Structure 1
Amino acid sequence: MLRSPLLVSLSLAAASLAQQVGDYATEAHPRLPWQECTSGGCTTKSSGSVTLDANWRWVHVTGNYTNCYTGNAWNSTVCTSNSQCASRCALDGANYQETYGITTSGDALTLKFVTQGQNKNVGSRVYLMNSESKYQMFNLLNKEFTFDVDVSKLPCGLNGALYFVQMDEDGGLSKYPGNKAGAKYGTGYCDSQCPRDIKYINGEANVDGWTAHPSDVNAGAGRYGTCCGEMDIWEANSISTAYTPHPCKTENDGGQQRCTGQECNTPDRYGGLCDPDGCDFNPFRQGDRTYYGNGRTVDTTKKMTVVTQFITNNNSTTGTLVEIRRLYVQDGKVIPNSKTNFPGLLDPTDSITEKFCNDQKRAFGDHPSFQIQGGLSHMGRSLSKGHVLVLSIWADYAANMLWLDSTYPVDADPIKPGIARGTCPSNSGNPRTLEIDHPDAQVIFSNIKFGDIGSTYSGTPITLPQVPLPPGARGAV
């Protein structure tokens, strides 16, 4: 899906990314233990921690306080070329709580939308670490990934996201000589949107062709983007949710690759290395308007447990990915996933399979980029290489998050299947308005578990009632 994270707005600590390491602030990763489970029980990984993405960090000239990037522009005196900027600028440590609103308590991580201290920070993105210098890698095939989440303070237009991307374990430290910071300082990000707002890619700055964003005072776009396979486990607020695989035909079956021009899906959104749309399962978009939200079957006013299972054709970690299942646990009850509810148009399916994706693209009239990029089987090959866990809170300058929680495209008939994605007004989600009206918004992730199918959750199974066809929706074509 669309992703345009909001960056830090600081006077001395401008949001940016560099490859040298500064020494003005000590980098201390907040601890975040998680559990690995088998049928015999779960073991706590007490060494787990998180690191802040480098794009949010202060970058300055090595040895002094001169900014290399301020607002949405590079310091043209310091950064006259991509390689020179990397060699002259230093990436520094982060004050997680005071500057970025990032805190941990036990197994819980809280990400605040706006943090107003000496300066103002908006949004954040962090990665789960295995050690001080390496990301925790996950192979999700024939496994399930489970976590608790509280989205009660996420209104229309915000996204508390948990997802996996095929980043390098060390953040590119060993692969690119210009990168002296590595995973410890949150380098090496990539995703299926091939983002061009990343300021350093592959150990070099993204100065060449950099253009300031017309409405985001902290962001811009350079000549290069950075692509890789992406598995969105959770994109959600209190109104809507979706989970979505995004395959990429980059190097190493979806591994991180720098792109330029059409490789980055520009100008043709569907002509690049990655699938930007994915094959999404959003209960509201699938026709079940009573499943997720305030006081609904999955009640977003309360904490919930989210379980995602990755099924292979031979029930092994080396098999072909054939299905991605979802279920929830809330108040001790195991809640099966919602079923597609467009009788005569889509079968009543409750998981992501190749058939579901083919049927959905046809029924909704969506571009078959998911299939063109290799579908579930190629997504599985990417997952088998190992993915990094990403947790973030963000607002959307590109489309106001309407693709998640409102009518999208806004000029389309909301009665048409696939257009309505949530109950948010089509004029909601403006990031600047959200900063003013909802500065206290936050998401809390906790109780992360990873392990064998069926080993990470418990509860009493329930049966969902049959839901009516959405009012006015056409069930056949």
Structure 2
Amino acid sequence: MYRSLVFAASLLSVARGQLVGTEQTETHSGMTWQSCTAKGSCTSKTGKVVIDANWRWLHVKGGYNNCYTGNEWNTTACKDNKSCATNCAMDGADYKGTYGITASGNSLQLKFITKGSYSTNIGSRNSEFTFDVDVSGLPCGLNGALYFVSMDADGGLKKYSTNKAGAKYGTGYCDAQCPRDLKFINGEGNVEGWAPSVNDANAGVGGHGSCCAEMDIWEANSVSTAVTPHSCSTIEQSRCNGDDCGGTYSADRYAGVCDPDGCDFNSYRMGVKDFYGKGKTVDTSKKFTVVTQFIGTCNAMEIKRFYVQGGKTIANSASTIPGVDGNSITTKFCDQQKAAFGDKYTSKDKGGMANMAKALANGMVLVMSLWDDYYSNMLWLDSRYPRDKNPDTDLGSGRGDCETTSGAPADVESQHPDATVIYSNIKSGPLNSTFG
């Protein structure tokens, strides 16, 4: 599902097989962010952005022949997972020319479709975290996401001797969907059992997936937004096998070590339809600031959201769903929401808020992305989902104003190739230090 991911590998508490090619120099763009100790007392820091390994050119070692073309592997170079790591190299990236990624000062712009010289790329991944965002150019069917995952800070370089690329080349990705579309996991190829996608010419599903805790700070377009913690019983990155992975890519969505659904707060879904969108309380036709606070620890942790726009601080909308209280994510809120909506509740089985708090305390990697959805057309974010539900009687099925016919990748890619999202002015610090 993730078409392209950008890691900001030096933010927050982040520290420090795949062979490396030499045809394209890997030059990381700098991006500044701020570490705050109190309101008005922030220090600028400089980090780097790096494109995820999954979307890089992968070619035969010492040559130019592709190891992966479209959604199929080169069966000569990649007879199995281990030989693929030995025979193939991932190369550096032309961030702007190929991927439409532009970093300048404290901002990062991700362009949806970029036509390069050799290819067309589609898409571009107790404290307070704040950023400015412009989603005015994101229509139905697109998701400009900013989130944290518990991947290894070095991309798995120390753990796996066959991984020669590491964080510099964006290796080691994982999330709570335990994605099986990754070309390399744990320093080996994901060739064995690979099945090309039937509707995505560039993707497929392999025999392994890569799991870890995920905190979705921001999944949004100009119509809808959601903040969602995804807990895992195994917090750090781990490799899974086949349909036992669970998540979007497996026959049994709930078979794995992670909670694929999470416990989301989407204002529209929680009954307030005039809060977020163009011309609404949070006006998405203009830039605004998103503030996320993590208050307390373990199962008592609360995830609280504010917005700042036009000089005004806007509290998150409160739920109007009968039996569901509040405007923040807590264990009580999740208990009530899952009961009211009749949704499967796997978060507690995977450690709930306690494991999410532990993942945050351990340090996570920031991912910024822009993607379209070949699995469900992004209807789970901005429309009625599942489609056969009636929002008037099936609580929680209404998620945004988009039509159920919207969001098909073929339509989004042809009609909105210039769609963009801009993230800027990232800050992290103690409560109430980064805004106001």
- Both structures adopt the same fold (TM-score exceeding 0.5): yes
Q: Answer yes or no: is the 8 Å Cα contact 1:7–1:219 preserved in 2.
A: no
Q: Structure 1: any 5+ residue segments left out of the alignment? A: 9-17, 126-141, 314-318, 459-477
Q: Structure 1's 321 and 379: CA in aligned 2 closer, same or farther, altered over 3 A?
A: farther
Q: Which residue matches 1:375?
A: 352
Aligned residue for 2:396, secondary structure, equals coil
Alpha carbons 2:299, 2:352 under 8 Å: kept: no
- What residue is the counterpart of 1:55 in the other structure? 54
Matched AA of 1:123 = G
Matches within 5 A, 1:254-265: 254-265=235-246
The aligned runs of 1:238-249 (5 Å cut-off) are: 238-249=222-233
Residues 363-442 of structure 1 correspond to what in structure 2 (within 5 A)? 363-415=340-392, 416-442=394-420
Report the counterpart of residue 351 of structure 1 in structure 2: 328
Match of 1:153 in 2: 137
Report deviation, 1:7.
6.1
Please state how far the C-alpha of 1:271 moved relative to its aligned partner: 2.1
**Aligned ranges 1:67-466 → 2 under 5 Å:** 67-118=66-117, 119-125=119-125, 142-250=126-234, 254-265=235-246, 266-313=250-297, 322-342=301-321, 344-347=322-325, 349-415=326-392, 416-458=394-436
Residues 305-340 of structure 1 deviation map (CA, whole Å, 9 limit, x = unaligned): 000000114xxxxx6652000000001100000100
Q: Counterpart amino acid of 1:94?
A: A
Paired with 1:379 and 1:7, the residues of 2 have a C-alpha distance of: 25
In the TM superposition, residue 362 of structure 1 has moved relative to its aligned partner by 0.1
Please say if residues 377 and 408 of structure 2, whose CA atoms lie closer than 8 Å, have aligned partners that are also in contact.
Answer: yes
SS at 1:87's partner residue?
A: helix
Q: Distance in 1 between matches of 2:237 and 2:180?
A: 13
Q: Is the Cα contact below 8 Å between 2:36 and 2:434 reproduced in 1?
A: yes
Which shows bigger deviation, 209-218 or 374-383?
374-383
CA distance in 1 between partners of 2:128 and 2:159 (Å): 31
Is the alpha carbon distance of 1:366 and 1:270 closer, same or farther for their aligned partners in structure 2, counting shifts above 3 Å? same
Partners of 2:351 and 2:237 lie apart in 1 by 17
Distance 2:87 2:94 in 1: 23
1:472 maps to none
Q: TM-score, normalised by structure 2?
A: 0.94
Segments of 4+ moved more than 4 angstroms: none
Give the Cα–Cα distance (whole angstroms) in 2 for the partners of residues 383 and 321 of structure 1. 14
Report the CA distance between 1:267 and its aligned residue: 2.5
Alpha-carbon separation, structure 2, partners of 1:383 and 1:324:
12
Question: How much has 1:63 moved relative to structure 2?
Answer: 0.9
- Could you report, residue by residue, the CA deviation over 1:408-465 in whole angstroms, capped at 9, with x for unpaired residues? 000011212201000000011011111100000010000000001000001xxxxxxx
Residue 384 of structure 1, CA deviation: 1.6
What is the distance in 1 between the residues matched to 2:279 and 2:44? 33
Instruction: Kindly provide the amino acid, as one letter, of the partner of residue 420 in structure 1.
Output: G
- Return the alpha-carbon distance in structure 1 between the equivalents of residues 283 and 222 of structure 2: 9
Whole-Å Cα distance in 2 between the matches of residues 116 and 378 of structure 1?
Answer: 41
Could you report, residue by residue, the CA deviation over 1:219-240 in whole angstroms, capped at 9, with x for unpaired residues? 0010000000000000000000
Return the alpha-carbon distance in structure 2 between the equivalents of residues 376 and 153 of structure 1. Answer: 33
Cα distance change on mapping 1:7 and 1:241 into 2, 3 Å: closer
Q: Tell me by how many angstroms 1:346 deviates.
A: 2.0
TM-aligned CA deviation for residue 262 of structure 1: 4.1
* Match in the other structure for 2:23: 24
Q: Which letter maps to 1:408?
A: Y
CA-CA distance at 1:370 after TM superposition: 1.3
Partner AA of 2:320 in structure 1: N
Partners of 1:322 and 1:120 in 2: CA distance: 43
CA distance in 1, matches of 2:51, 2:4: 12
Change in 2 beyond 3 A, CA 1:423/1:120: same
SS in 2 for 1:32: strand
Contact kept, 8 Å, 2:4 with 2:369, in 1: the verdict is no
Cα deviation for residue 105 of structure 1 reads 1.5
Q: For the residues of structure 2 that align with 1:417 and 1:304, how far apart are their CA atoms?
A: 29
Partner of 2:229, secondary structure, is strand
**How many angstroms does 1:381 deviate by?**
1.3
Contact 1:7-1:218 within 8 A present in 2 as well: no
RMSD (CA atoms):
1.2
Q: Secondary structure at the match of 2:305?
A: strand
Could you tell me how far apart the structure 1 residues matched to 2:112 and 2:359 are? Answer: 31
State the percentage of identical aligned residues: 59
Task: Write the distance in 2 (CA, Å) between the matches of 1:390 and 1:345.
Answer: 34
Distance in 2 between the 1:330 and 1:246 partners?
Answer: 28
**Which TM-score applies when normalising by structure 1?**
0.86
Q: 1:177 to 1:96 in 2, by over 3 A?
A: same
Counterpart code for 2:223: I
Query: Shift of residue 120 of structure 1?
Result: 0.8
Task: Tell me by how many angstroms 1:263 deviates.
Answer: 3.0
The answer as to whether partners of 2:4 and 2:371 remain within 8 angstroms in 1 is no
Secondary structure in structure 1 of the residue aligned to 2:264: coil
